[in-house]
């Protein structure tokens, strides 16, 4: 049966608005067409490798292959001389990294080869061969701990210290990337890397028959709930019905669903170190859980999550985070102090630090102003990644078969 939780008119409106979000966030840089994490005047006016890679994978699922190919060409031109990809690029396609994020390199490989397999693009297969060889050499020489067969993490998907050590998302991204390398190019080296990293995840990053968010830099397990323990499912490394995945999802359901306003938070914000943003549910992570429940046939739960996503959009625009007003009242003063401390830490050049400090204070002032008289505030509208994951969830749920950014564009394959 076709699901009916989302009415056809609101579905059509969301698809139309999402096309507009993609168009406004697209840029024509000197390295080709790319996608900003937010529109140019938004919170993240940069091309983030992670966000772009996820968008490419989603566009392949949704059969929008022309746009995916353009984004892949940008990735190939943006690769660093050492074989890596960095956290982010500016409007002209130049590296604009703030912190080291090792998952960027794996995600670029994963996105490139996801497109190649979806499109059967023999030309790009050959164009990408040498860049992927260089990226593989970079990983083996610079980021892979060859005793553990896990990739070391400086920071990652949460963009903070909570990922430092050996993080599940980063390592799953690498295992998935090398598995695709082997499927596309063959070769013992790719096969061994994929198998050994996956084996190490299953051996070292599972406790009580569920996945761990990370091993800390000393190798101690970090069992705290984190939405990234769904990464083995997200990257199709483990089946959604395998026990470790089921148990991980159960932990997330019990501990990360916000019982007051709904939606999933990314992890439990125990201390100021884990409160670098105001606590609240994240729509793109929430959409992950809808995808998972569809995958295991738990239709009712998936539909309830989809209803929450649409109810918390603002005129069909998806926010990065839905912030309860109680969080703003409780943690805004603390967050101001954290922003100032970070700006003075010396971790980046002073002009850049001051620019970020001023922008984040302005964002916080805006949130405080918007929260007056409201129970929740949708922050950072629109957020491209939230639209991407919601589109993927709609596809899983049978609402959407094919979705193109440019529906009138001529398709060349």
E strand map for 148-199:
150-151, 166-167
pLDDT at 3: 56
DSSP state of 274: G
d(CA 350, CA 336): 18
Q: What are phi and psi of 264, to 5 degrees?
A: -105, 130
Task: Give the separation between CA 82 and CA 197, rounded to whole angstroms.
Answer: 22
> Is the backbone of residue 80 left (phi > 0), alpha (psi -120 to 50) or beta?
beta
Cis link prior to 381 (omega < 30° from 0)?
no
Q: Which residues contact 61 (CB under 8 A, 6 or more apart)?
A: 118, 392, 395
Please count the residues of the chain.
413
Q: Per-residue pLDDT for the chain (413 aa), expressed as one digit of tens each?
A: 455 689 999 999 999 999 999 999 999 999 999 999 999 989 999 999 999 999 999 999 999 999 999 999 999 999 999 999 999 999 999 999 888 999 999 999 999 999 999 999 999 999 999 999 999 999 999 999 999 999 999 999 999 889 999 999 999 999 999 999 999 999 999 999 999 999 999 999 999 999 999 999 999 999 999 999 999 999 999 999 999 999 999 999 999 999 999 999 999 999 888 888 888 999 999 999 999 999 999 999 999 999 999 999 999 999 999 999 988 988 889 988 888 887 787 766 777 778 778 888 888 888 888 888 888 999 999 999 999 999 999 999 999 999 999 876 444 43
Cα 269 to its chain centre, rounded Å, is 19
Q: How far apart are alpha carbons 217 and 154 in whole angstroms?
A: 9
- The pLDDT of residue 194 is 98
């Amino acid at each position: 049966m076709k699901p009916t939780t989302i009415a056809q008119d609101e579905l059509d409106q969301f698809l139309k608005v999402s096309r507009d979000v993609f168009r406004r966030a697209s840029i024509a840089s000197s390295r080709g067409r790319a996608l900003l994490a937010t529109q140019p005047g938004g919170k993240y006016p940069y091309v983030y490798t992670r966000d772009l890679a996820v968008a490419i994978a989603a566009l392949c699922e949704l059969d929008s292959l022309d746009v995916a190919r353009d984004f892949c060409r940008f990735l190939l031109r943006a690769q660093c001389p050492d074989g890596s990809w960095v956290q982010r690029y500016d409007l002209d396609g130049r590296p604009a990294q703030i912190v080291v994020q090792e998952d960027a390199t794996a995600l670029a490989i994963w996105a490139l080869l996801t497109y190649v397999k979806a499109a059967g693009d023999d030309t790009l297969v050959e164009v990408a061969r040498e860049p992927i060889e260089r990226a593989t050499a970079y990983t083996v020489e610079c980021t892979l701990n060859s005793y553990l067969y896990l990739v070391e993490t400086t920071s990652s998907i949460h963009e903070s210290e909570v990922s430092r050590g050996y993080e599940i998302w980063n390592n799953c991204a690498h295992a998935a990337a090398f598995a695709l390398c082997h499927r596309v190019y063959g070769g013992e080296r790719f096969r061994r890397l994929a198998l050994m990293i996956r084996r190490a995840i299953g051996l070292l990053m599972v406790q009580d028959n569920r996945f761990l968010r990370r091993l800390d830099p000393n190798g101690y397990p970090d069992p705290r709930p984190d939405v990234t323990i769904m990464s083995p499912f997200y990257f199709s490394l483990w089946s959604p019905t395998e026990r470790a995945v089921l148990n991980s999802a159960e932990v997330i359901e019990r501990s990360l669903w916000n019982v007051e306003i709904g939606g999933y938070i990314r992890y439990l914000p125990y201390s100021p170190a884990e409160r670098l943003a105001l606590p609240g549910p994240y729509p793109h992570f929430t959409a992950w859980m809808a995808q998972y429940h569809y995958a295991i046939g738990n239709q009712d739960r998936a539909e309830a999550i989809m209803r929450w996503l649409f109810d918390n959009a603002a005129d069909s625009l998806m926010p990065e985070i839905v912030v309860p007003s109680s969080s703003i009242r409780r943690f805004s003063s603390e967050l101001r102090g954290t922003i100032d401390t970070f700006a003075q830490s010396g971790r980046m050049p002073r002009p850049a630090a001051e620019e970020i400090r001023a922008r984040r204070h302005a964002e916080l002032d805006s949130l405080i102003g918007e929260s007056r008289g409201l129970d929740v505030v949708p922050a950072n509208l629109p957020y491209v990644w939230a639209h991407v994951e919601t589109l993927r969830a709609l596809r899983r749920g049978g609402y959407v078969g094919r979705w193109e950014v440019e529906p009138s564009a001529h398709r060349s394959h």
